[in-house]
Chain A
Amino acid sequence: MSGPPIGSARASGAAGPDAPAASRQRRAIAFALLLAGAAVLIASAFLLSPFRLFQLTLAAGYAVAILGLNLVTGYNGQISLGHGAFYAAGAYTTAILMTHFDWPFWATLPVAGLASGALGYAVGFPALRLGGFYLALTTFSLAVAVPQILKHRAIEDWTGGVQGLFIAKPDPPAFLPIEADQWLYLTTLAISAALFLAAWNLVRGRIGRAMRAIRDHPVAAEAMGMDLAAVKTRTFAAGAALTGLAGALGAVAVEFVAPDSFTVMLSITLFVGMVVGGAASIGGAVVGGLFIVFVPNLAESISKAAPGAIYGVLLILLLFVLPGGAAGIGRLAVARLWRRDGGR
């Protein structure tokens, strides 16, 4: 559907089916919003406390992770309860390259993306034969098995075993008089923005339409000549790569990777983030990322069990009250706004 989701500074102006004048006006407004949003985000690097910056950095990373999940589950209908595995793959790739081979952080990013993308592609093949519950079940099992695999003795020398690996945030370039966490925040934002733009382009193009066609009418799509296997495996690869890159970003923000950071709860958290933000929504991933960073933080002050309870209740409530998640509200609001404007 046309119209930029509200609250997303990342989407650039979208074309609508209306009269060119109204469409140009909308594009201008969206662009202005985008610029304003970018300015605010950049300015906050210098206005917020290091802890808040850290949280926002994490949120941006998680937003990308949820975006990756959204590609696979939201846009392509393959239910993945194991995206934490790809997050872990990216995180560990970065950590291992930085720790054992002294690579600079930026150089590890493409490798992390490739590694998790390859893992996603590998998962995508058996996923072709499964669907619905079976795929959910299998990916869930993958998520549960991940910490055990990471702790295994055979790869302990690389992964650091139970204790994990420590890595350091990259230093800002010498000519910039800013702190390391500000630098990381800004670069994470930039990278996330680029990834969001890429995903947004992918989704609104031919491939995106193919993804959705396969999700909604697989038999018809195949009858029309679409190569289901290719689209589905490549979507898995792309989604996994995105989430893997997010894992790399997250790893360097936390400066630490360990097997118990990547339990099944991570996969479930990403899933909840996707549902809250809205499946099949680019902007929703941003809301999801913010949600899973800030809400548990607030909730944990009540009780250790609170985050899980909130997630659970929200999942069920959303089903009945607001299946489209935040993006659903966003689209409704935008639609109303433009209608009043006479834009339709």
Chain B
Amino acid sequence: MEGFAHQLVAGIATGGIYASVALALVMIYQATHHVNFAQGEMATFSTYLAWAAVQGGAPWWAALLGTVFASFAVGVAIERVLLRPMRSAPVLAVVCAFIGLMLIFNSITGAIFGYAVRPFPSPFETSAPLLGGLVSGHALGSTAVTLAVLALVWAFFRHTGLGLAMRAAAYNPVSARLVGIRVGWMLALGWGLAAAIGAVAGVMVAPVVFLEPNMMLGVLLYAFAGALLGGIDNPAGAVAGGFLVGVVENLAGAYLVGAELKLTLALAIIVGVLLLRPSGLFGRAVESRV
């Protein structure tokens, strides 16, 4: 059963990444009822920024920190400039905007950095695998980082005034305004936070899948699946969903469908959840759409 344990642990590690991106997706969805298709490409771009910083000689953790702040700023800017005027636009228009964003980020990344596949350094490399050969240094470190990020975000939303204001703006923007909350800026902050989380996820996944402009496409799909599975309007549920999807992907990939059909598995999860239990395992009931 050593293989099983190994897959399980690896699944938790990748699950942490899916959970982070799922959280970013859900944060934006809760506040705006929009699904950010560009989340993956934004994270890829952030990862390239980190790579460039490291190539330029910056220490790894400083590069990560700088990237996180830069991504936060970009996220805020996107919300204020592009999405604010689209607040009440029809769904097709918003989908267009997100796809457009996705394409722009993808092509900027390709234009600046080229399409070559590159290795990405990890600060957790160990010479020998840890925990009795069960897990690589990176997997352990990456899991620790994503868990830390998730815990920080949770604490922020639960225990700070700003976090409470952001939750209020997401749940009930009209009432939030009545108590003086600047709802527009809360949405912008939410976008910034989502972008920052995405950046961390990207930097954690790059050493595993190698850095190239399309690296987050599969991750995005799994994050969608995780967010839907957990409940697209429930951040904690989305996180749980992300971990679950990571484990299922790894186990199913190893024992059931083979590595070649992993993306199809994500598709199956998405379709299955939306048809059988649209509110996800932990979410509230979704309004029916005619």
Chain A positions near chain B (C-beta within 8 angstroms)? 73, 77, 79, 81, 126, 129-134, 136-138, 140-142, 144-145, 148-149, 151-153, 218-219, 222, 228, 264, 268, 271-272, 275, 279, 303-309, 311-316, 318-320, 323
Known: A79-B92, A320-B85, A323-B93. A148 touches B261 (CB 8 A): yes
**Using an 8 Å CB-CB cutoff, how does the interface string of B77-119 with A read, 1 for contact, 0 for none?**
0000010011001011101110111111111111100010000
A79 to B34 CA separation, bound complex (whole angstroms): 14
Main secondary structure of the interface of A (DSSP, over half): helix
In the assembled complex, the Cα of A218 lies from the Cα of B33 at a distance in Å of: 20
The residue of chain B having its C-beta at the shortest distance from the C-beta of A264 within the complex is B217
Name, among B91, B92, B228, the residue most crowded by chain A CB atoms within 10 Å (CB to CB): B92
Which residues of chain A are within 8 angstroms of B270 by Cβ–Cβ distance?
137-138, 141
Give the complex CA separation of A271 and B37 in angstroms: 14
CA distance A145 to B220 in the complex (A): 12
CB of B96 within 8 A of CB of A305, answer no
Contact pattern, B 252-263, Cβ under 8 Å of A = 1, otherwise 0: 000000101111
Query: Given A136-B35, A305-B111, A316-B101: A152 and B96 within 8 A (CB)?
Result: no
* Interface pair B103/A315, CB less than 8 Å apart: yes
C-alpha gap A71/B83 in the complex (Å): 28
Closest to B91 in A: A132
Give complex CA distance A15, B33 in Å. Answer: 42
Would B103 and A308 count as touching, CB distance under 8 A? yes
- Classify the secondary structure of B's interface with A: helix
Whole-angstrom distance between the Cβ of A144 and the nearest chain B Cβ: 5
**With A141-B267, A305-B111 as contacts: A311 and B93 at CB distance below 8 Å:** no
Alpha-carbon distance A139/B213, docked complex (angstroms)? 22
Q: Is B162 an interface residue (CB 8 A)?
A: no
Q: Is the CB of B100 within 8 A of A133?
A: no
**Are B37 and A140 in touch, CB under 8 angstroms?**
yes
| Contacting pair A130 B289 (CB below 8 A) | yes
The yes or no answer to B160 lying at the interface (CB within 8 A) is no
Q: Is B17 an interface residue (CB 8 A)?
A: no
Interface size counted on chain B using CB atoms at 8 A: 49
Tell me if B131 is interfacial: C-beta within 8 Å of chain A: no
Least Cβ distance of A151 to chain B in Å? 6
The 6 closest A-B pairs by CB, nearest first: A312-B103, A131-B289, A315-B100, A308-B107, A312-B104, A305-B111
Cα distance A3–B258 in the bound complex, in angstroms: 55
B96 with A318: CB separation less than 8 A:
yes
B271 at the interface (CB under 8 A from A): yes
Q: List 18 A-B contacts (CB under 8 A).
A: A126-B275, A130-B289, A134-B278, A140-B37, A141-B271, A149-B261, A219-B290, A228-B290, A272-B99, A309-B104, A309-B108, A309-B111, A312-B100, A313-B104, A315-B97, A315-B103, A316-B82, A319-B86
Question: A133 to B110, Cβ gap below 8 A?
Answer: no
CB within 8 Å of A: which B64-86 residues: 82, 85-86
B264 within 8 A of A: yes
Give the complex CA separation of A130 and B271 in angstroms.
10
Given A132-B289, A149-B261, A316-B96, does the pair A137, B224 have CB atoms closer than 8 Å?
A: yes
**Given A132-B91, A136-B95, A309 contacting B107 (CB threshold 8 A):** yes
Decide if B267 touches A312 in the complex (CB within 8 Å).
Answer: no
The smallest C-beta distance from B203 to any residue of chain A, in angstroms, reads 22
> Is the Cβ of A305 less than 8 Å from the Cβ of B93?
no
**In the complex the two chains form, is A141's CB within 8 Å of B224's CB?**
yes
Pair A129/B102 contact, Cβ less than 8 Å: no
Query: Taking the complex as formed, is B148 at the interface, i.e. its CB lies under 8 A from any CB of chain A?
Result: no
Q: Is the Cβ of B260 less than 8 Å from the Cβ of A151?
A: yes
B168 to chain A, nearest CB (A): 23
Provided the pairs A309-B111, A316-B82, A316-B97 are in contact, do residues A133 and B106 lie with their beta carbons within 8 angstroms?
Answer: no
A134 touches B274 (CB 8 A): yes
B34 & A133 in contact (Cβ 8 Å cutoff): yes
Contact between B115 and A304, CB atoms less than 8 A apart: yes
Say how far A326's CB is from chain B's closest CB, in angstroms. Answer: 15
Across the interface, do A313 and B290 meet the contact criterion of CB distance under 8 Å? no
A271 and B99 contacting across the interface, CB-CB below 8 Å: yes
One digit per residue, 1 when the CB lies within 8 angstroms of any chain A CB and 0 when it does not, for chain B 127-171 equals 000000000000000000000000000000000000000000000
- List residues of B (211-256) whose CB comes within 8 Å of A's CBs: 217-218, 221, 224-225, 228
Whether B267 contacts A142 by the Cβ 8 Å rule is yes
B42 on the A face (CB < 8 A)? no
Say yes or no: is B195 at the interface (Cβ < 8 Å to chain A): no
B92 touches A131 (CB 8 A): no
The contact string, 1 if C-beta is below 8 Å from chain A, for chain B 267-289, is: 10011001100100000000001
Shortest CB-to-CB span from A304 to chain B, Å, is: 6
Given known contacts A79-B91, A129-B278, A145-B266, A315 and B290 CB-to-CB distance under 8 angstroms:
no
Question: What residue of chain A has the Cβ atom nearest to residue B272's Cβ?
Answer: A126
Please, which residues of chain A bring their CB within 8 A of the CB of B85?
Answer: 320
CB distance from A83 to the nearest CB of B (A): 13
A285 to nearest B CB, angstroms?
16
Q: Which residue of B lies closest to A153 (CB)?
A: B260
